[in-house]
Structure 1
């Protein structure tokens, strides 16, 4: 789809853009930046995890994997920004869904279905999506030296404050972290400069007794949050990487439980104000899925194996197993769109398994 590229419609006043599937994110972002706008969901590109050059990922891929960055708790996931699309199903039939405005909701909302389907239901050829004004400025309040439990409580508290924290993350102490040797709990503020300054001062006053505080300006914030989005502190380790989604209050307990099992956990980090947990393990860690998923199931959530060697990926399904009724429903949906199983075979279902 690399040649199926280009922006076909952009109406800044209407906050809407249409682009062919292979349009690079760099082109999308450059066009939006020139007009003072942005992709609010700030999609992860997996540049650090897989060595891709920034901006080379496509806009359709971002929606196909429902790639959602640190602002996800505030602005929603990628699927919440997709207005419509054109695609081809497993029978070679071209179809479209949605439109160019939010109130065009006739028919089934297939946009929610294809986002996160990883190309197993249809091949996207064109996408129409919302864009939003870019913030005037950004600052980050970094509270240092908190342990995971204290950081989690602080992020949950901050997310409910009227200061409108745009994103929250916690990076445990690391020699190669943004604050070497020190844990950092990050609260991002976006908006008009005067508003950001006022809200920043409010947060500093509220949290100054919790630990040392540092303030990062807009350029430093942009660099740091790109590293958070791309899980850079985790990606630096060569072993398997897992991505866990669960209730923000459960992350620290899960990490503690995994360490109690003596799993070879090298590093971890929290995004989405604690609702997203990244884990990096030793390179030759051996089977991990059963232990990790048992803890995730106990707490309620799901675990995805994002990066591993071929042998590990063959032995451990990347996606969290679905409960029986949900798996049966997913199989029926797959059969309706791709009865012969030719789209992304083996991605979510083993290639020899009927649907």
Structure 2
């Protein structure tokens, strides 16, 4: 036979009559012991079943309270405590040991008041360094057929909408503003994706426009070097030009100032003119610096100019206020 020992602790003495009334109405078929202590009443009895209906009746008798087995979230006043215990020696009517005998305690405490989640209808979205502002507009609504009240999501995400004139999505009446807000965020993603695509197109055009003049200056400089047109070579160079040649990241040559550079290109050992440089497609812009790859070729010997060795060099050109202030040729 399965017996359940039930113990109830009533921690407000004023509640004892309410609990007694519930026990009487529930027709407990065994003696019920009531013991008074200084701070509470203890009730205990043994039953042939778990008497689960007591939980419901007791919680209904104390509005605003509920039973819980979890007291981890802070210590609240325990108004009523109910424990059930079954011995491991209990057996079923067939004489078999019972599985998982009860040993649990429930506590009647005040119901937790869930704080409503507050939200800002203004959504900020970063497109790179640029901040965009969107609005999730929500207005009160009513279902005319059922008179149910709720909230509607407005079909406007770019600006704060006028609730009197705003168009709304008629597909759903939301029970809470938060429900409408979450749905609005879902819809907003498609709008943001389209706007971001347009933003990238605009930035691409701005970049092309911004790089147009620097590209022209670099192309003209390389062309002038190929033709050894000294006047054109010097046209866009700063008076304070620094020219440097590096081989395997080690400095091989450096000139300071325009005059030294002129002497260099007029020298027999210059390596920048009449080389038939070809600019490859990859351009890199890093603030004031422009980095390009140049393909060039050199005859293997004075006697055999048809046999050529092709290789690439890297040219780093710094532009400031429309003038080339630094050239680094890297091999």
Asked whether the two chains share a fold, i.e. TM above 0.5, the reply is: no
* TM-score (norm. length: structure 1): 0.19
**Structure 1 or 2: more helix by fraction:** 1
* TM-score (norm. length: structure 2): 0.20
**Higher Cα Rg: structure 1 or 2?**
2
**Structure 1 or 2: more strand by fraction:** 2
